[in-house]
Amino acid sequence: MNSTAENASKYGIAASKKWWSAARELAISFDRQSLEDAIVAWIKLNKRVEVSNNTPSVDFYYALMNEAFLSLYDAETINPVYPVTDLGQKFIDEARGSTGIGIVNLPAPPEPTLTPQQKLELQVRDDWTKLPTKIIRQKMANDKNYRSVVERLAGELESSVTTYTAIGSA
């Protein structure tokens, strides 16, 4: 075996160990032997020329394994035998991010969760632009939190419908 083939073999083994370690939470959802066989077969079938034309490296072979897995998974050629765990899904999402494969399948970032105070502030801002003064006064009279937010934001709020004038306390 020549040194290039030996290096390729060493890098391939190192990349495989790295991939299986990084994908351990994903791999538990699949039949390990079937997954490994499918990845190797996909690389041999689809990346033979690329493998022979590139300088061997751990990163190169690792990227090929990610590409092979995602291609097989998206084509439903390989299917989990157990539900994919959250950490397994995280690995899939990270692999998609690094390869660009199936990036449209990534979930949208979660909507920010607003605190009750933030929700009330948004309501006051919305009310201020849409409701007449009379209704805002009624809301202020019925809800001390609403009143405090109106008073706190009064200088910032702009509306052609409502105005706020602070009257000295009695």
In this predicted model, what pLDDT tens digit does every residue of 50-100 receive, in sequence order? 988 988 899 999 999 999 999 999 999 999 999 999 999 999 999 998 988
Within this chain, do residues 76 and 148 fall inside the same structural domain, yes or no? no
Check: CB of residue 15 under 8 Å from CB of residue 56: no
Last residue of a domain, one of 83, 105, 127: 105
Q: Which two tokens stand for residue 16?
A: 């495989």
The two structure tokens encoding residue 124 = 């006051």
Per-residue tokens: 12: 């391939």
Q: Give the domain-ending residue among 60, 84, 105.
A: 105
Residue 76 is given by DSSP the state: T
Entry pTM: 0.59
Do 120 and 138 share a structural domain?
yes
Q: Are residues 88 and 9 in the same domain?
A: yes
Question: Can you read off the two tokens belonging to residue 44?
Answer: 């041999």
The whole-number pLDDT of residue 133 equals 87
**Nearest-CA neighbor of 62 among 25, 28, 32, 91?**
91
Domain tally, the chain? 2
Q: What is the pLDDT of the chain when averaged over all its residues?
A: 86
Residues 80 and 18 in one domain: yes
- Both 96 and 33 in one domain: the answer is yes
Spatial distance between the Cα atoms of 164 and 150, rounded to a whole number of angstroms: 9
Say which range, 85-89, 100-104, 150-154, has the weakest mean pLDDT. Answer: 100-104
Q: Are residues 10 and 60 in the same domain?
A: yes
| Final residue belonging to a domain, choices 66, 88, 105 | 105
Is a pLDDT exceeding 50 seen at residue 170?
Answer: no
Distance of CA 21 to the CA centre of its chain: 21
Q: Is 87 found in the same domain as 161? A: no
DSSP H or E segment with residue 102: none
Instruction: Say how far apart CA 28 and CA 80 lie, in whole Å.
Output: 9
Domain extent, residue 93, equals 3-105
In the predicted structure, residue 129 carries a pLDDT above the cut 60: yes
- Asked if 56 and 134 sit in the same domain, the reply is no
